[in-house]
Structure 1
Amino acid sequence: MTRLDDIGLDLQALSLPTPEQQAQAVIDRFLDWATDPRLAVLDTETTGLGPGEQVIEIGMVDANGRTLMNQRVRPTFPVPAEASAIHGITDEDLKGCPTFDQVWSRLWELLQTHRVVVYNGGFDFNRIADSLNATMPGWYQGDGGPSELLRAWNALIPSVQRDGCVMEAYAPVHGEWSAWHGSCRWARLSAACAERGVDTSDLKAHSALDDARATLRLIQATAELTPEGLPWIGREEEA
């Protein structure tokens, strides 16, 4: 009986996408976002980077760059000086601003009615959850089990964090391979925009609304690439 490998067929090679196909798949993800009228891009500024830190500014734009939300939020503790040094937001700026629980219903409505993407979605949604914990204690508890909000959160947010993270999607385009991690390294939003020639001269870095606008422009610019412009994808380990 003749075996397939006796006639020179490599079954594994037949089943694997080519580098060009892999590059096109990366581009298609951005093209899908860029052409979806339901798209919304979210960004936040926070009191810090670690667990327990809170959201103090929320920016969200739609697929056409129109503002859906541009809101500062007063946290339950003072903004650390090191955080203010980055985004320029101080306690004085937040006087008279609503607390997170007072803006939550509007934000939650937007999250449910749009296809939301974020540059580093894991970070933003962890800080949103921390803000809920601080201003709506027990939001996740219902009578004898999880609250309706927690069930809705668990049905929506993990998929946004997984499928809507622009930073993760852009990593192969950035193309800096890490042999240690076996994957491409993440790029900062500013670096990614510079690589794609995105004009951000009219935007302020570390402004939630402007960072959302920059992310939308990055999505649109990346969607215009071709596989020929990303010759390293599918060949990263050869470098």
Structure 2
Amino acid sequence: MKVADPCGCFPTGRHYPGIAHLLKVRAVGVASEIDAGSAWIDQPIAFIDVETTGRDPAGDRIIELGIVIGRGGEILTRYNWLIHPGRPIPAESTAIHGIKDADVEGKPSFAEVAEEILVCFKGAIPAAYNAAFDRSFLLAELDRVGMRPREPPPAMRREVDWIDPLTFARELYKNEESRALGDMAARLGITLDKAHRATDDAEAALQVLYALAKDPRVPRAYGGLIQEQRRLVRLQDEARRLWRKAPAPAAPPATKP
């Protein structure tokens, strides 16, 4: 049987299942061990949240990391690590999450807990609220300690998209003033007692994701969800680009006092 080859990847027309499978995974952004046609809500989801010394993953460090595992709309397990960043925590960062130098005194470095963190991601769909932030910090820390497992979990693979409920919140609640996690949790009746603490934020955000899943505009199939998320990200990025380019409103004409 001949296989269509629009990109010229298989010039002989023969099927190369290993290569084709990798291309498929990279094209749709799904984890290879999870069926793209399955209902994502029925799959294990590893929801991560990090608190940091600042906003730059190249120079700042993770000081708290929380992972919440969910499946079938239920919270299964919660994990939390306080991590010594190897530097003082700036006062402006403490003002956000409340974590002080004394709180991480004697706590392990990221290198000391990296392996047990990665175990939590095994076989699970990675997710985070405003995922680009948490993902960039996690991957930067793993790169920094030279973590290169032979079989990396989905969260470590750069071709695997993380589920990001914020993307869907921006679409489904586009007329609301804020889609910040605390505001979305309150809007959906979800309790968030300790905002800006990693595990509490991760659990609330996973519950937000499960609540958004009830909307028929959110695809049920894992692959469909990732493709819709990619489409929305493109639209939202373009909207922000146009907003930044829009001229500032003209000042009102001066009037005499």
TM over 0.5: yes
1:198 aligns with 189
| Cα distance change, pair 156–71 in 1 and its aligned pair in 2 (3 A) | closer
The answer to whether the 8 Å contact 1:205/1:211 transfers is yes
What is the alpha-carbon distance in structure 2 between the residues aligned to residue 121 and residue 39 of structure 1?
14
Of Structure 1 and Structure 2, the greater helix share is in 1
SS in 1 for 2:75: coil
Amino acid at match of 1:165: D
| Cα distance change, pair 97–155 in 1 and its aligned pair in 2 (3 A) | closer
Amino acid at match of 2:191: T
1:47 equivalent in alignment to 2:57: no
Percent identity of equivalent pairs: 29
The answer to whether the 8 Å contact 2:155/2:162 transfers is no
Q: 1:118 aligns with which of 120, 124, 128?
A: 128
Query: Where do residues 101-140 of structure 1 align in structure 2 (5 Å cutoff)?
Result: 101-134=111-144, 136=145, 139=146
2:249 aligns with none
Amino acid at match of 1:46: T
Give the TM-score normalised by structure 2: 0.60
What is the alpha-carbon distance in structure 2 between the residues aligned to residue 41 and residue 122 of structure 1?
13
Larger relative contact order (Cα-Cα within 8 Å, sequence gap ≥ 6):
1
The answer to whether the 8 Å contact 1:33/1:219 transfers is no
The answer to whether the 8 Å contact 1:60/1:68 transfers is yes
Query: Where do residues 202-213 of structure 1 align in structure 2 (5 Å cutoff)?
Result: 203-213=193-203
Give the TM-score normalised by structure 1: 0.65
1:15 aligns with none
Gaps of 5+ in 2: 1-37, 218-231, 240-257
What is the alpha-carbon distance in structure 2 between the residues aligned to residue 111 and residue 46 of structure 1?
20
Q: Give, in angstroms, the shift of residue 45 of structure 1.
A: 0.8
What is the alpha-carbon distance in structure 2 between the residues aligned to residue 225 and residue 171 of structure 1?
13
| Cα distance change, pair 82–150 in 1 and its aligned pair in 2 (3 A) | farther
Q: 2:104 aligns with which of 94, 97, 104?
A: 94
